[in-house]
Every structure is written in structure tokens, then in C-alpha cells.
Amino acid sequence: MDDFFDLYRKDRWPTIFCPGCGIGTVMNCFYRAFSELGLDQDKVVFASGVGCSSRIPGYIRADSIHTTHGRALAVATGLSLSNPDLKVIVFTGDGDLGAIGGNHFIHSSRRNADMTVFCINNSIYGMTGGQASTTTPHKAFSTTTPYGNMEFPFDLAELAVTAGANYVARWTVRNVKELIGSMKKALVKDGFSFVEVASPCPTGFGRRNKMADPRQMYEWLKIKSVRKEKSELWKMDPVDLNIRGQITIGEFVNRSRPSLGSMLRSMLDEDEQSKEQ
Amino acid sequence: MRLEAGTYFMQGNEACVEGAIAAGIRFFAGYPITPSTEIAEGLAERLPQEGGIFIQMEDEIASISAVIGSSWVGSKAMTATSGPGFSLMQENIGYAAMTETPLVIIDVMRGGPSTGLPTLPSQGDVMQARFGSHGDYQVVALAPATVQDMFDLTIKAFNFSEVYRTPAIVLSDAEVGHMRGKFTVPRNIEVLERKMRTDKVWHDGFAYDESLVPRFPVFGKGFRVHVTGISHDIAGYPRNEPDVHEELVRRLTEKILKDSDKISIVEKHNGKADRFIVTYGSPTLSAMEVIAADPTIGLLQLKTIWPLPEEAIRSVAKDAKEIVVLEMNLGQIFREVERLACMEGCKKVRLLSKVGGEVHSPSEIVHFLKEG
């Protein structure tokens, strides 16, 4: 795979994404991770829900299923259980995964279901025009929080760690090298692997929070993000729910618990053996 | 092992499990709910024996989602539920219709609305099966009345879902699901499979021929197909032009309606009678007792509810002076029958409706017929 357009559908260009959106960076990083690993696009399936990030599979030249809002992980569970030879990759966003699909996120992590999930967290509902999401910072403005967000945002990465995922990392779109590295680790991991990418949405989020220029949003991501190793806050309380607005970045877990598919297959094998005896 | 040909004694829900196995089910995802739970329990035990996969999901939305995923890698996949769970599944039933995903849903109906009568039967989900999800679409829905029907119609539901690439719903109810009875497994069972794409063209995954049903481009074989619930062209790409959407929605409904006669399964008794009972599901058994005692009364049992067997209903209405519809709801198929009967000049159509969680007794039916 020598070219970006070996992986992406050129006939669908240009994309629907706004100027300054971080999704393009994530697509580029994903192309690099995918091609450097030498993965076969005919041996993967892409799944997504609804939202801006969920449009990515539609641009990939591979089997892809753009499902209903929030349900990508549940559909992916059916895909990977029924064909364990296929690698299932999910693209999702903070609204799709953290709000309407929150229950599937918890349980796919808990089951360690075989899939790699990339969540592009832009702190806002972009597709519908900038409403507060579960990861909108406290006091931030959106069309549904005109007086500032009274709630505190969700720590999606910590949720995945706690619920049982095998691999969890979070980066911003500024950390492209680290992001590509984590994407590669997540793609070769058995079980549930999760990479969250904090990403700018100048149109939906920035405009209402004095960051209409994408450069301001990149600067904001730089100031707010702190590597976990350097973070006193994270050491004190990893599940901080971002009360102080910090985006802790790094690799949070990398373990090899048995995956749902492997447990299912070993159960069936044991059953076969007991029948033979 | 699939059940060998012979006679068996089982619960309706158990017969449904064996019907699914006979039809070649490979995947079941479900969530416990009365009165359908025995189907999940049965398949949890039976599917691994057949090399298939059973998974209990976190809710009914996840269950039908996993079934959709499994179907796209080529499995015959099913879920089972009852009213509240069926309500939760509606969005993805529309998604399956839009993306032409074959799957089977067993809805063992109980009293509603809401939590309603969890352990007692009703036929309250008939219109929901037809119109539950938003937008215009068609599904296939079948209504079993006996343990034998639970076995036979589960197989038929798989066949219709595969052939027409559509959700197929078995509208059972708590009475039929929990009834125990005798049923026969025939020596030869017709099992149909979806037509698969074999060529490797990846830019027209939803191209169709005169059957109006596209061949299935199963995931993992290099078709590079894009599947979306957004209105789409034959490439599967999202489109919002009026002509693309109109062509798609009309085809999705027409591919089923044009074969309505092939999908309609009905049983007619005492065909020369001029008073007819039209019913489906568990009230059929009481109606059978009534017509056995009085040959002047005919019976039309609808085993297919959607698409509605209009021809069969009209042919009965053409010569009938009176039609009595039995339903365990406030009248869902009744208005459909009334509409068709009026077209044939039969103006006396009456509804005997029960919603308390009891099936009509034969004497209630006899009294109702006399009152008329």
C-alpha cells in the first residue's frame, strides 16, 4: 500500500469534513499505522455509528458498515464473533460512544470483545451543529449550553480501562507519532483495544469558545494535554473526570487478558474434547 | 444434531428453537424477557452443539445490532424477544430493512402497552411489526397458532428473510410460546439460502435484477462494499437526491409486495360457508372447535400477516354475508379485513376483541356469532 488512496475511496473525495477538523489527521495517521503493519484491507471490516467520525468507514476501500447511532460496537460484536478471521475496526466519536452507545462501550470492554475502537473526541456533537456532549468541558459553551456547561465531562479512556479493555491509550491530534504508535499496538492486539484522540472542531466547538481559528484549537489542545507520566493530577486520581479541564495523554493499559472470541472458541473445543472422551 | 424426522412433544418456544436449528441458524443474540426466554435458553444449549454461536447481550438494541453484524458476515442470525424488547429493536429493524440485512426476530407477544401483562398473551404488536420503525418499508411477519406452527414458521421466516433480504418476524404469543403439544418433523424440509455475489466488482454492491433483490456481497471476500442506513445508490454510497431515495424506498417495498402471493400462507376451512371467521395465532384453536361443531361457519387462518394476504381475504369476502374477526387486541387486522371486505361488497364485518390476557373461548365465539 504505497498511496493514501490505496486505502481510501478517491471517488468519494472531497470529504464532508469542515476546514480545521481533526478527522483528516486521524485518517492520515490511520493510513500510516495500517500500511506500516502491512494489514490486508480485504481481511478487515470497518464499523461505525452516526456522527462526523462515523463517516470515516464510508471513505475506506474495504467492507464497511455505517450503522445506527451508538450501535457500532454491538454490530462489531456480531461481526467478529461470526467471522474471527476478520479484524473489526470501529471509528466513533464522543457522542456516539460516550452517550447513546455508552452501554455497549462498557459491555464490549468488559467482554473484551475482539475489535479495535478509535474514538475521535471533539467534545461536541459536530454533525448536528454543536450541541454539548458527554465530553464537553465544564463551563464550555455550545448551542445547548448557552450559559456554560453545568456538567463535568466523561473520561472515556478510564472507563475502558476499568471495564476491562486490553489496550487503552489517549492522544491528541498534535501527537501524531505517538498516535500512529498506539494505533499500531491497538490494531495487533487481541480483544478490545481502544484509542481516544482529542481532536479540534473549530466549527462546532471552537467558534463558541473563542477558538474559531483552528490554530487556537491546536494551541488549546497543547496547553490542556499533559502526559500521564508528568501529571501530578493523574497520579493523585486517574479518574478525575477532567474536573480541572486536563486532557491526560499516554498509554493507560496494555495487557493480554483472553478475548471474548478466544474464550468462546476454547469453550467449544473443550466441549468437542469431552464428547470424544 | 438436528431433530430427526418423527413426532415430538415440546413447548412452543422449544419447537421454535428446533425450527431455527433445522433452518441452519448460526448466530443468536438476545436478552432475557418473558415470555420468550425459553428460546434464548434453548439456543444457549443447542447452538454450541451445532457449532453455532450464542451470546447474551446487554439489551435488546445490542441484540439486534449483533444479529445485523453476524448476518453481514454471512450467518443466518436470529433474536427473540417480547413487546418491550421489540419496541427497543424498532430502529434497527428499519436499519435492517434499509440495508437489506436478512435476519429473523421472534416476538412472543404479551399484554401491553409498556410492561403490561408480562406472562399473558396478546396480539398487540401486529401493527408495530408492520409500521414500528420510521419511514416506508415492508417486512415479512408470520403468526403461529400451534407448536407445529412454531417449528414450521420459524423455518419459513428464515427462508423469507434469506430470499428477500429482509427482517422476518414471527409474531408468536405467550399462549403459543408456552403451550405444550405434539409436532412432526418432516423428512424433507425446504431450507433456502440467500443468493451470494460471486464476481469481484466493488462499486455496485447493491445492484439488482428483476427480482429487485440484490445478491449478497458478504463481508470478508474482497467486495469492499459500503453498507449504510443513509439513503444510498447501487454502490452503497450515501446520496440524498430525491430520485435515488425514491427508487430505493419503492424497491424495498416492491421486492416484497410483488411476491405477496408467494409469501401468503393461509388455511381455509369450510370454504363454502357464508359466515367466516378470520383470525390468526392462538384464537385459531378456539375457532377450529367452533367450526368443527358448526360446518356452516368458515374459517380463514392467516399464517402470514405481513404482507397481508389480501387475495385470500377478498376471495372469502366475495361470497360471505358476514365476517367475524378474532383478535387479542382492540382491532389491528380487523380494520384491514373491513377495508378489503367493503371492496368486495361484504358490509358486515365484526370484531370480537380480547385484551385481558385470555384467549377467546369457543363458547364466547359461538355467543358472538349468535348475537350478530
Residues of chain B contacting A81 with CB distance shorter than 8 Å: 27, 53, 55, 66, 70
Q: How far is CA B299 from CA B17, B305, B323, B340, in A?
A: 29, 15, 9, 16
Mean pLDDT of B17-46: 98
d(CA B9, CA B4): 13
Q: Kindly give, in sequence order, each residue whose CB lies less than 8 Å from that of residue A212, ignoring residues fewer than 6 positions away.
A: A202, A206
A271 shares contact with chain B (CB less than 8 Å): yes
* Test the A interface: residue of B31, B50, B65 with most A CBs within 10 Å: B65
CB contact under 8 A, B72 and A79: yes
Around Cβ B239, how many Cβ atoms within 10 Å? Answer: 16
Topology of domain B268-371, per CATH?
Rossmann fold (3.40.50)
Mutation target to probe the B interface, by most B beta carbons within 10 A, among A13, A44, A63 is A63
Contact B53 A66 (CB under 8 A): no
The model's pLDDT over A138-163, given as tens digits with 9 standing for 90+, comes to: 999 999 999 999 999 999 999 999 99
Closest CA to B105 of B31, B176, B52: B31
Q: Sort out which chain A residues have CB atoms less than 8 A from B230's CB and list them.
A: 66
> Cell for B305?
400477516
Contact in structure between A228 and A234 (CB atoms under 8 Å): yes
Per-residue pLDDT of chain A (277 residues; tens, 9 = 90+): 889 999 999 999 999 999 999 999 999 999 999 999 999 999 999 999 999 999 999 999 999 999 999 999 999 999 999 999 999 999 999 999 999 999 999 999 999 999 999 999 999 999 999 999 999 999 999 999 999 999 999 999 999 999 999 999 999 999 999 999 999 999 999 999 999 999 999 999 999 999 999 999 999 999 999 999 999 888 887 776 677 789 999 999 999 999 999 999 998 888 777 766 6
Domains of chain A and CATH, by start: 4-276 (3.40.50.970)
Q: Tell me what pLDDT residue A206 has.
A: 97
**Residue B95 carries which side chain, given as an amino acid letter?**
Y
Residue A277's pLDDT is what? 62
DSSP, res B330: S
**What's B225's DSSP letter?**
-
B residues 211-230 lying closer than 8 A (beta carbon) to A: 219-230
Q: Do the domains at B6-185 and B268-371 have one common CATH topology?
A: yes
* Domain spans, chain B: 6-185, 268-371
* Residue B16 CA: distances (Å) to CA of A155, B38, B39: 44, 10, 7
Considering only the beta carbons, identify the residue of A11, A42, A78 that sits closest to B69: A78
CATH code of the domain occupying B6-185: 3.40.50.970
- Measured between beta carbons, the chain B residues lying within 8 angstroms of A63 are 72, 219-220, 223-225
Q: How many helices (H) and strands (E) does chain A have?
A: 10, 10
Please state the φ and ψ torsions of residue A35, each to the nearest 5 degrees.
Answer: -75, -35
Strands of A110-209, DSSP E: 115-121, 124-125, 131-132, 167-172, 192-198
For B65, nearest residue in chain A (alpha carbons): A75
Nearest to A74 among B49, B66, B99 (CB): B66
Residue A181, classified by CB atoms within 10 Å of its CB into exposed (0-12), middle (13-18) or buried (19+), is: middle
Q: What value of ipTM does the predicted structure carry?
A: 0.97
Return the C-alpha cell found at B61.
438494541
**Residue A58 DSSP one-character state:** G
Judge: A65–B224 Cβ closer than 8 Å, yes or no.
Answer: no
Number of inter-chain CB pairs under 8 A, A vs B: 131
Q: Do B92 and A78 touch (CB under 8 A)?
A: no
Residues 76-105 of A with CB under 8 A from B: 76-83, 85-86, 103-104
Amino acid at A12: R
Chain B residues in contact with A43 (beta carbon < 8 A): 220
HSE at residue A262, side-chain half, CA atoms within 13 A, is 11
Rounded to whole angstroms, how far apart are CA atoms A175 and A184?
14
| CA A12 to the chain's CA centroid | 23
